[in-house]
Structure 1
Amino acid sequence: MYEPIRTKSVHSTMAGTSDFPHRTREEELDIQLASHLAALLAVTDELRAQAPSTDLDTAAEGLARQVARLRGGTPPARATTTGPTRSAALHRRAHALAGRALVVAASRADTAAAILSAERMDAHAAALAADTLAATA
């Protein structure tokens, strides 16, 4: 009733039958974590351009170190300012990116990246709370 399969499957999972390289789960998580941290670094650089502070400078240095470590020593590209953006929107974006990085760091058991991500989430949540408080006053 059914015709037999005549061609080789493109989804073959047997060892040695694939023509393209596969990455391990750890390598995929490294790539994903480096991407989230690099995006967080870009937003941090934008915030630094709008309102320079030593906290943001320290955070940017730590993020750059983590991205370089995850990418095998390759330093991350640094963002240039894109123009005026509301700092509350940047803090919301940074908070979300730090949350994503925290989830990936936790899943790959990367303590240093998890701590840095959690610290950035706290800092951006505090900045958002201060913006909200200032807006209502």
Structure 2
Amino acid sequence: MYEPIRGTSVHSTMAGRTQDFPHRSREEELDIQLAGHLAALLAVTDELRALTPSADLDTAADRLAEQVARLRGGRTPARVPLTAAQDETRLAPLHRKAHTLAGRALVVAASRADTTAAILAAERMDAHAAAMEPRELAPR
């Protein structure tokens, strides 16, 4: 009725043989997670740069790319082309998304005691929070 098992069990680690697969340390896992959050933040920052070019976003994107490359052992992250986004109605949602991603990166950076990445993430949170605030009309 059932086919007999022909290979070793996938649960062989339960028998005490844990050398069969690679292990990563907590620090390595946090590096991977932080690099992922910063890379996602970089992608959103590149989209924002395409919609509203500014020196602040250019600098932020360069700093984010530098941190992602550092965490990934020198491999440069993929970048969104500046001509990719043209829909200005997406500006507010992109700032909210960037704020959320920067917050996630800040939590991971703080847990791994990476001050450089934590400061960068906090700066980006502040910048995106400021961009989401309603702007007052200038007095006439």
Indicate yes or no: 2:129 matched with 1:133: no
Give the aligned residue type for 1:91: H
Give the aligned residue type for 1:89: P
Give a deviation string over 1:16-40, Cα, whole Å, max 9, x none. 6331101000000000000000000
- Counterparts of residues 98-137 of structure 1 (less than 5 Å): 98-129=102-133, 132-133=134-135
Aligned length: 126
Shift of residue 12 of structure 1?
3.7
Compared CA separation, residues 83 and 9, structure 1 to 2 (3 A) = same
Give runs of ≥4 in structure 1 deviating > 3 Å: 7-14
Secondary structure of the residue aligned to 2:101 is helix
CA RMSD in angstroms, aligned pairs only? 2.0
Give a deviation string over 1:12-69, Cα, whole Å, max 9, x none. 495x633110100000000000000000000000000001000000000000000000
Mapped partners of 2:18, 2:108: distance in 1? 30
Give a deviation string over 1:62-114, Cα, whole Å, max 9, x none. 00000000000000000132552510000000000000000000000000000
* Unmatched runs of 5 consecutive residues or more in structure 1: 1-6
- Counterparts of residues 32-43 of structure 1 (less than 5 Å): 32-43=33-44
- Asked if the contact 1:12/1:18 (under 8 Å) is kept, the reply is no
- Asked if the contact 2:50/2:85 (under 8 Å) is kept, the reply is no
* Unmatched runs of 5 consecutive residues or more in structure 2: 1-8
Secondary structure of the residue aligned to 1:22 is coil
Mapped partners of 2:15, 2:131: distance in 1? 48
Compared CA separation, residues 26 and 88, structure 1 to 2 (3 A) = same
Residue 3 (structure 1) aligns with? none
